[in-house]
Amino acid sequence: MRTVSAGAVVAERRAIVRHIAVRADFERAFLQVREEADVLSDMKPEADLALRREAVITAVVEAEAISPSDEEVREALGPTAEREEVDAQTLLEDLRKAGRLEEVREDLAARQAIDLLAAEAKPIPVAQAKAREQLWTPEKEGAQAAAGGDAADAPARLWTPDR
CATH code where residue 41 lies: 1.10.4030
Residues 75 and 151 in one domain: no
Residues 108 and 140 in one domain: no
Sequence-distant (≥ 6) Cβ neighbours of residue 37 within 8 angstroms: none
Say if CB 1 and CB 112 are below 8 A apart.
Answer: yes
Sequence-distant (≥ 6) Cβ neighbours of residue 10 within 8 angstroms: 80
What are the angstrom distances between the C-alpha of 70 and each of 13, 55, 109? Answer: 20, 25, 12
Please report, in tens digits, the pLDDT of each residue of the chain (163 residues total). 555 555 666 667 777 777 777 777 776 666 666 666 777 788 888 888 889 999 999 999 999 999 999 899 999 988 988 888 889 888 889 888 999 989 999 999 999 999 999 999 998 899 998 888 888 777 776 666 666 655 555 555 555 666 4
Domain of residue 73 covers 6-121
Residues 85 and 109 in one domain: yes
Position 161 in a domain: yes
Distance CA 157, CA 136 (A): 7
Position 151 in a domain: yes
Residues 132 and 83 in one domain: no
Residues 31 and 100 in one domain: yes
Domain count for the chain: 2
Residues 71 and 114 in one domain: yes
- DSSP alpha helix (H) spans, the chain: 6-31, 36-63, 70-83, 88-97, 101-120, 126-133, 138-146
In this predicted structure, what is the pLDDT of residue 118? 92
Position 1 in a domain: no
Which amino acid belongs to residue 146?
A
Distance CA 148, CA 112 (A): 43
Residues 102 and 160 in one domain: no
Long-range contacts of 13-20 (CB under 8 A, 24+ apart): 13/107
In this predicted structure, what is the pLDDT of residue 163? 47
Which amino acid belongs to residue 161?
P
Residues 54 and 103 in one domain: yes
In this predicted structure, what is the pLDDT of residue 103? 92
Q: Please provide residue 155's backbone torsions phi and psi, each rounded to the nearest 5 degrees.
A: -60, 150
- The CA radius of gyration of the chain, in Å to the nearest whole number, is 22
